[in-house]
Each structure stands twice: as structure tokens, then as C-alpha cells.
Chain A
Amino acid sequence: MILLGEFALWVALPVSIWGIVLAFVGGHRKRGDLVLSAERSVYAVFFLLCLTSLGIILAFLGEHYEYRYVWGYSSRELETYFKVTGLWAGQRGSLVFWVLLLTLFSSIAVFQNRRRNREFMPSVVGVLLTITAFFLGVLLFADVNPFERLPFTPANGQGLNPQLQNYWMTIHPPTLYLGFTSFSVPFAFGIAALVTGKTDSRWLVVTRRWTLLSWFFLTNGIIFGMRWAYEELGWGGYWFWDPVENASLLPWLTATAFLHSVMIQEHRGMLKMWNLSLVSLTFLLTIFATFLTRSGLIESVHSFAQNTRIAYIFLAFLGAATFACLLLILWRKDDLRAERTIESFLSRESAFLMNNLILLGSAFAVLWGTLFPLISEGFAGTKVAVGPAFFNRVNIPIGLVLLALTGIGPVIAWRRATRRNLERNFLPPLLMAAAVVAGLMIAGMRGFYALATFAICGFVLTILATEFWKGTRARARIEGEGLGKAFLHLIARNRRRWGGYIVHVGIVLMFAGFAGASFHTEIDQSVEPGDQIRAASPYGHEYVLTYQGLSSSRTPNMWQWVALMDVSRDGRRLGTITAEQRIYSTADQPIREVGIRSTPLEDVYVILAGVEDFEGALRNESSAQGAVFQVLVRPLVGWIWYGGLVITLGSLIALWPGAGGPARRKVRATPASARLAGV
């Protein structure tokens, strides 16, 4: 079965190449039989990749350590669960997983459009299979074949990196991959629109839900990664501007820009070329993100291994794809002219355009900072890494302007905002922002960025709340419904709009969390059992953590030290927190499991930074209980995750299938009157 999986991988490449040739030739010569054959190769490649993935999983489950990949990412002690997820634990398997998801989405797209949008399909199939063939080529010819054998059969594997041994490992990478790969579908439709010259509205209608789906996965993948970093890795934070984090943020930024600029094309017939460029850019950035993780060119906690051959292959593909996109867009540039121009700076078009420019500016800054080590190596000969300070300095102001736009965009008028429009819509929220600043300053809060963030949060929330209230009230009055019912119907009737606003609410909550977390306090202390650590909260009260002692244990897989702390606040006992250190037999570095006590107001975050006598503690000697702790009190961190949930809810509402707009009807050959009535 494993051999069959390997065989399937080899068969998949020629089948996809066959499909590419037939799709483009068939599309060009209008040969339906060739196109049908190409579409069948999409399904066939998906089937073959399923066999390949099954082969890899079986190799893990059967402990076949003669395969280099299985040997490198598994061991006899590893739980079965992590053997299955071994499929995406390392470079080689995760590439297979990438193609598997890509072919899954390709198959869904082909199946969905088996009777629709037929003139797009040859190019769509051609583009999707080209991407597939590229990844298959990498797998087979760039020293990353997951089925590569060692010259001998080791008795045991090297084991899985302990940091990957937790449940986020099962969720975070696949979610991101789902986001990356599903964006290939809107990209393929964009290219098909360019190839066929039908660049108007149709490809937007066809790909809207795909784009949202991809954005949904990307967003969740990123938030899962943040959560993983926060609760598991013990780095004391949730975002580190690590190159690979940045790489996943880049397509998110451009995809967000695309989601918004699409609306300008829909409403005002502008920005056609911009939209096609954005969809191409986002796709290229998903490939770039995949490339950055795999090339090992830039040091990162995520990178697999240095493999320069892969780096060059990916760079060549990125270059060729960029060139092809540019060429196609230039070729169609006459069709892509705007139907109208922007009339006023104070208008929704211009707010959307600002949002786009800012998102792109942020993407550029992040890209620049990420690539800076390479650029500096190229020019100055040494790698100079750019630290979080750079990213924060650039992105915090950008983020704040964007945050403000999440409130301005929904209410500013199309075309041209009049003074009355501005006054009516913006005066109350501005007053609210001022009130927030005044309140916080009286409470003793200082710091420009934090005050600005909370002020803008107040501003945007007021706007959005007013929007929901006005909409609900109007609907309640018009339909004669109760407020609750009217509210639900309001959202159900225009899911994209209201789902989008709910996402905006989530973004506001997240920003409040970011701003709050910047006020964290930290204390490092070495303690013996019975000693107390006093951690001051930024709100003024104090947590007292009483160290109870260590308890240690040994399993074949790891050694484990668990520290127990009693937590009380203002003399009232709140409960216990445990923080752990583990040393896995397969890794030298100790792993920290953080203890977190989370409330909406603040998190108490305890890291067991060191144990004074590891060996003694392991024998549970009472004299060897000394430990070093790092205790952080982080205000409002929880709001980042609540915000994430709200974003998920909002995007699910926007994604939910069904009308939610003027009904899209099938038009049959009926008399003109009936057809018009069906508008």
C-alpha cells in the first residue's frame, strides 16, 4: 500500500501535465472532448494524491523507519494521533498535503462548474493543474520525496519535535494550508477572465464565495497560530514578527484588500485592473509563504531545513508566474479601463481605496522587513535581521488608520460625502472617542498609542452599533416585526454586509486586546516552597502567588516537572496554577508548558523558567524544590481570542450559502414579461 502511494505520486505528474496540455489546447481549439479529458485529470490527480497521502500515513502507523521522512518525524513512543498528523509535520509530507488540498479544491471547483461558466473552465483547469504539476515536480525532483529510503532500516525514529506534540499542531497548519490552497481557485478564475477577455463582473460573482472561504481559513489559521504561541510555546506573547508569521500575514493583507476593492468594482465599475492584480498578487504571496517556510533561506522557528535547490525552483516559479500575470493584465489593459472615476476624496470609494493602499503599504513593509536579512546579505555580505521594533513602529500606526477605516468605510456616503452626512454620522462616534480618552486619562492611563487605540475602538464600535440599531429599527418599522426578529432578519437578508460588520467588531476587540497587552507587568523570581511572588496588576491590585512545590515524573518519552502555585488576589484565594517544564528524550531543549489564569480583564501568565536541581527534583527530593518563575500580568489579552471568535462568526455569516441578496434565478426562455418579473 505504501509502495502504491509512491507509485501514485509518480503517476500524478504525467496525468496533470496531460491535463494542462489538453485544457489549453482544448480551450483554444474549442474541443469539448479534450477539455472533458482535462477535467477528468483533475479528479484523477486528486484520487492519486489521496493514495499517496494514505501511503504516507500508513508508513507512519506501520513504523517504517526505512523511509527518511518517517524516521525524521516519528518514533515508537509517539502517540498514534501524532503519527497520523505526521503527514504535515515536516517539509516533505506537508508538500504532499499542500497538493492534496489544492487538488481537492480544484476538484470541487470543476465539479461545481460542470454545467456553469463553461467558457472559463479550460483556463481554470489549466491554471490549477499547472500549480499542481509544479508542486508534484518539486516533490519528485527536489530532494524532498517523502518516500526516499535510508540505506538501512533504523530500529527507531528520531521522534517528533516536542513543540509540535500538541493539539494545535493538528489544527493550525492545516487551516493555514486550506487558506493558501483555496485561494488558487479565485486566482484561476481571474486568469481565465483575462484569457477569455470576459473581465467584467462574472468572475467576481463566481469567485466571491471562494475568496471569502479562503480568507476565512487564512484568518483562523493565523489566529490559531497566535493562540498556539501564546499558550504553548512559553514565549510570553502571541506574535513575534517571525518571517513565517509574516509570510502568512502577507496574503491575508492582500486578500483583505481584494475583498474590499471587489465592492468598488461592483458598485461603481472601477478598479478592474486593480482587482485582477490583487487576486494575482495574493496568489503569488501564498506561494511565497509556502516557499519561505521551505527554503530555509531566512531563520525562523517554523523553517524546515535549508534546501537551496527548492529555493531556486520556487523562485523560478514565482518569477514565471509573476511575469505571466503581468503580461496577461497588460494584454487586456484596454478592457480593464474604469467606467467612472472617483469624484471626491470624502467618499466611500475613496475610503475603500485608502483601505487598499494601506493594506498594501503594510504588506510591503512586512515583506521588506522579512526579506531584509537576504537583501542585506546580498549588498553588505552579512545577514541583518530586522527585529519586532521595526515591524511595530511601521505597523502600529498603519493598523490604527485601518482600524479607523473599519468604522468610516461602512457609513461614509458613496460618490461624495456632504457636510451633513459627515456631521450626522461622525459626530456621535467622535464624541465617544473623546469620552474614552478622557475617561482613560482620568483613570491614569498614559501612552499615546494605547490611548489612540482605545479611542478608535470606541469610535468604530459606536458607528457599528449605530448601524445595527438603525438597520434593525428601520426593518422593524417597515416589516412590523419585533426588534429581535428584525435584527435577525436584517442580518439574514444581506449576509455579506452584516457579516462583514460583525467581522469589523471582532477586529476592534482584537485591537483592544493588542493595546491592553502592551501594559503587561512582569516579575522574575527564584523561590523555595512556601515563598510568595507578588505580581502587580496594571489595574492597581496585586496577585500573590504562593509556591507549593514541584512534582516530577518520568515516562519513556519525557521527563516532566510540574510546579504548583496558589493564586490569591487581595487576600481572596482564586485557585491554583500549574506550570511545567518537560525534557523529551528526543530533544535537548526543555519545553515549557505555561500556566494561564484568564479572565476578561487580564491574564496571569506563569512560566516555569528553571528548576534549580533537575536531578534532585526528578527524584522528588524535598531539598531540591527551588525554581525560577516568570510571572506576567497581561490586561485584556483574552479579547484577542474573543475578537477572533467574533471574526469567525461574522465570516461564517457572510459565507453562509443561499441568497442573502436579490435572488439569483435561472433564466429560462420565457416571454419577456415573465423574465423581467423575475429580476
Chain B
Amino acid sequence: MMILLGAVLVAAAVVLYVVQPVFSGERASLASLDEEFTEAEARRHLSLVALRDVEYDFATGKVDERDYRRLRDELGREALDALREVQRSRDQAEDAPPAKDAVADDLEREIAAYRAALRSGTLCDRCGSANVAEALFCATCGRQLESERGEEAAAARGR
């Protein structure tokens, strides 16, 4: 008797729990939410990981300078493309783009700064912010920038 009661209770609880959304209309989201990792962000993340690995390979003398530059440009471009796409999808998500040109200009400027930082090696390795060419510390997080990286790499190549 007790067993029967237990079985009925378990079955009822399971069925109620599972079926409830169909009747109450409670929904699970099926689209990406605002704060989540989108495809573009995943690409940006991966290109940045790859970028960091390439920088490391260069610093330890595993790739030569020409290949390093090519790879870095390539990966940097990918990261920027991904960034641009992230921006574009945000713009589309917001219905009213009041200052779209302004945002685009803003973005272009940021991208240029990012490129310059990539080239001069002043991209912060802790927070990823782009800094001006002569910066010694990251403007965003205060980390000392790896200005010796060039010397280190040169030393590694010289051996």
C-alpha cells in the first residue's frame, strides 16, 4: 500500500514538473541573450588566444619575425572583424540607431588604435586594452606593459 502510494506520488511529481511549462506557458529562451558569448565573440576570443600564443612563440624565438608579423596581422584582423560584427549585431538589436554614424566613427577610431597597439606591442596582456605607442603602463588596468618584449625577442634571435 505504502509502495503504491509512493509510486503514485513519484509519478505525479515527475509528470507535473515536466508538463507544467506546456500548460502554464512558462518558456525557456531560444535565442542568445544579451550578455552571452555570441559566435563573433567566440571568434574574437579564439583569435586573441591564438594571438597570445603567437606572441609567446615569437618571444621565445619559435617563429621568425616575418611570419610573426604576418600571423599577428592576420589574427588581429580576425579579432577586429569579429569585434565589428559584435558591434553590428548590437546595433541591429537596438531598434533606434540615433547616432549611427557617430558610433561607426568611434569604432573606426578604436580599431585604428587597436591596430597601432598591436603593431607597437602595447596591447595589455592582462585586460587586452589598446594603449598608445609610448605607454609604459596600461591605461585601463595599470599593468606594466611588456616593452622589453622586443628586446627579449631580439636577444633570443641573436643566439
Across the interface, name the chain A residue whose C-beta is closest to B82: A201
Kindly provide the distance from the CB of A30 to the nearest chain B CB, expressed in whole angstroms. 6
Q: How large is the interface on B (under 10, 10 to 19, 20 to 34, 35 or more residues)?
A: 35 or more
6 residue pairs A–B, Cβ–Cβ below 8 Å: A4-B7, A27-B30, A201-B46, A478-B152, A479-B144, A677-B129
Q: Which of B27, B106, B149, B156 has the most CB of A within 10 A?
A: B27
B11, B42, B63, B106: the one contacting A200 at CB < 8 Å is: B42
- Could you tell me the distance between the alpha carbons of A425 and B103 in the complex, rounded to whole angstroms? 47
Quick one: given A33-B22, A470-B60, are A672 and B49 in contact (CB under 8 Å)? no
Interface: B96 (CB within 8 A) = no
Q: Among residues 90 to 142 in chain B, which have CB atoms less than 8 Å away from a CB atom of chain A? A: 90, 94, 103, 106-107, 110-111, 114, 127-130, 140
Quick one: given A37-B22, A41-B18, A676-B110, are A7 and B32 in contact (CB under 8 Å)? no
Taking CB atoms, residues of chain A closer than 8 Å to B53 are: 267, 494, 497
B25, B26, B52, B127: the one contacting A494 at CB < 8 Å is: B52
Which secondary structure dominates where chain A touches chain B? helix
Quick one: given A3-B3, A44-B17, A470-B60, are A32 and B129 in contact (CB under 8 Å)? no
Taking CB atoms, residues of chain A closer than 8 Å to B6 are: 4
Kindly provide the distance from the CB of A606 to the nearest chain B CB, expressed in whole angstroms. 49
Which A residues are within 8 Å of any B CB, using their own CB? 3-4, 7-8, 11, 15, 18-19, 22, 26-27, 30-37, 39-41, 43-44, 47-48, 51, 114-119, 121-122, 198, 200-202, 204-206, 266-267, 411-416, 418, 420-421, 424-425, 467, 470-471, 474, 477-479, 494, 497, 661-664, 666-669, 671-673, 675-679
Kindly provide the distance from the CB of A263 to the nearest chain B CB, expressed in whole angstroms. 9
Kindly provide the distance from the CB of A232 to the nearest chain B CB, expressed in whole angstroms. 40
Q: Which 3 A-B pairs have the closest CB atoms?
A: A32-B27, A36-B28, A679-B128
Taking CB atoms, residues of chain A closer than 8 Å to B18 are: 15, 18-19, 37, 40-41, 44
Quick one: given A497-B53, A666-B35, A679-B128, are A118 and B43 in contact (CB under 8 Å)? no
- Could you tell me the distance between the alpha carbons of A679 and B4 in the complex, rounded to whole angstroms? 59
Kindly provide the distance from the CB of A119 to the nearest chain B CB, expressed in whole angstroms. 6
Quick one: given A414-B67, A474-B60, A474-B152, are A676 and B37 in contact (CB under 8 Å)? no
Taking CB atoms, residues of chain A closer than 8 Å to B36 are: 115-118, 666
Kindly provide the distance from the CB of A272 to the nearest chain B CB, expressed in whole angstroms. 13
Kindly provide the distance from the CB of A146 to the nearest chain B CB, expressed in whole angstroms. 18
- Could you tell me the distance between the alpha carbons of A667 and B94 in the complex, rounded to whole angstroms? 14
- Could you tell me the distance between the alpha carbons of A421 and B68 in the complex, rounded to whole angstroms? 12
- Could you tell me the distance between the alpha carbons of A661 and B20 in the complex, rounded to whole angstroms? 41
Which secondary structure dominates where chain B touches chain A? helix
Kindly provide the distance from the CB of A121 to the nearest chain B CB, expressed in whole angstroms. 7
Quick one: given A413-B62, A413-B67, are A664 and B110 in contact (CB under 8 Å)? no
Q: Are B28 and A664 in contact (CB under 8 A)?
A: no
Give 1 or 0 for each of B7-29: 1 = CB within 8 Å of chain A CB. 10011001001111110111111
- Could you tell me the distance between the alpha carbons of A661 and B55 in the complex, rounded to whole angstroms? 13
Q: Are A118 and B62 in contact (CB under 8 A)?
A: no
- Could you tell me the distance between the alpha carbons of A661 and B36 in the complex, rounded to whole angstroms? 18
Q: Are B52 and A32 in contact (CB under 8 A)?
A: no
Kindly provide the distance from the CB of B82 to the nearest chain A CB, expressed in whole angstroms. 9
Taking CB atoms, residues of chain A closer than 8 Å to B128 are: 662-663, 678-679
B29, B56, B94, B107: the one contacting A118 at CB < 8 Å is: B29
Taking CB atoms, residues of chain A closer than 8 Å to B73 are: none
Q: Are B28 and A118 in contact (CB under 8 A)?
A: yes
Taking CB atoms, residues of chain A closer than 8 Å to B83 are: 676, 679
Taking CB atoms, residues of chain A closer than 8 Å to B38 are: 202
- Could you tell me the distance between the alpha carbons of A198 and B43 in the complex, rounded to whole angstroms? 12
Q: Are A678 and B127 in contact (CB under 8 A)?
A: yes
- Could you tell me the distance between the alpha carbons of A203 and B149 in the complex, rounded to whole angstroms? 34
Kindly provide the distance from the CB of A268 to the nearest chain B CB, expressed in whole angstroms. 8
With A34-B21, A201-B45, A661-B48 given, name 8 new contacts (CB 8 A).
A7-B7, A32-B28, A33-B26, A119-B32, A413-B63, A424-B159, A667-B41, A678-B128
Kindly provide the distance from the CB of A36 to the nearest chain B CB, expressed in whole angstroms. 4
Q: Which of A119, A412, A414 has the most CB of B within 10 A?
A: A414
A664, A668, A673, A678: the one contacting B106 at CB < 8 Å is: A673
Q: Are A411 and B37 in contact (CB under 8 A)?
A: no
- Could you tell me the distance between the alpha carbons of A666 and B18 in the complex, rounded to whole angstroms? 31
Q: Are A661 and B52 in contact (CB under 8 A)?
A: yes
Across the interface, name the chain B residue whose C-beta is closest to A51: B10
B10, B156, B159: the one contacting A7 at CB < 8 Å is: B10
- Could you tell me the distance between the alpha carbons of A470 and B41 in the complex, rounded to whole angstroms? 32
- Could you tell me the distance between the alpha carbons of A211 and B105 in the complex, rounded to whole angstroms? 42
Quick one: given A4-B7, A11-B10, are A662 and B48 in contact (CB under 8 Å)? yes
- Could you tell me the distance between the alpha carbons of A645 and B153 in the complex, rounded to whole angstroms? 35
Taking CB atoms, residues of chain A closer than 8 Å to B10 are: 4, 7-8, 11, 48, 51
Quick one: given A415-B71, A478-B148, are A205 and B28 in contact (CB under 8 Å)? no
Q: Are B90 and A669 in contact (CB under 8 A)?
A: yes
Taking CB atoms, residues of chain B closer than 8 Å to A201 are: 39, 42-43, 45-46
A19, A205, A467: the one contacting B45 at CB < 8 Å is: A205
A32, A117, A121: the one contacting B37 at CB < 8 Å is: A117
Quick one: given A18-B18, A664-B37, are A33 and B129 in contact (CB under 8 Å)? no
Quick one: given A3-B3, A116-B33, A478-B146, are A36 and B26 in contact (CB under 8 Å)? yes
Across the interface, name the chain A residue whose C-beta is closest to B105: A672
Kindly provide the distance from the CB of B78 to the nearest chain A CB, expressed in whole angstroms. 8
Across the interface, name the chain A residue whose C-beta is closest to B43: A201
Across the interface, name the chain B residue whose C-beta is closest to A48: B14
Taking CB atoms, residues of chain A closer than 8 Å to B56 are: 471, 494, 497
- Could you tell me the distance between the alpha carbons of A675 and B60 in the complex, rounded to whole angstroms? 31
Kindly provide the distance from the CB of A431 to the nearest chain B CB, expressed in whole angstroms. 16
- Could you tell me the distance between the alpha carbons of A198 and B38 in the complex, rounded to whole angstroms? 10
Quick one: given A116-B37, A474-B152, are A425 and B62 in contact (CB under 8 Å)? yes
- Could you tell me the distance between the alpha carbons of A672 and B88 in the complex, rounded to whole angstroms? 11
- Could you tell me the distance between the alpha carbons of A382 and B107 in the complex, rounded to whole angstroms? 72
Taking CB atoms, residues of chain B closer than 8 Å to A474 are: 59-60, 152
B7, B21, B87: the one contacting A36 at CB < 8 Å is: B21
Interface: B154 (CB within 8 A) = no
Quick one: given A40-B21, A118-B32, A202-B37, are A414 and B152 in contact (CB under 8 Å)? no
Kindly provide the distance from the CB of A229 to the nearest chain B CB, expressed in whole angstroms. 39
Across the interface, name the chain A residue whose C-beta is closest to B64: A418
Q: Are A471 and B50 in contact (CB under 8 A)?
A: no
Taking CB atoms, residues of chain A closer than 8 Å to B48 are: 661-662, 679
Taking CB atoms, residues of chain B closer than 8 Å to A115 are: 29, 33, 36
Taking CB atoms, residues of chain B closer than 8 Å to A122 are: 30
Taking CB atoms, residues of chain B closer than 8 Å to A117 are: 32, 36-37
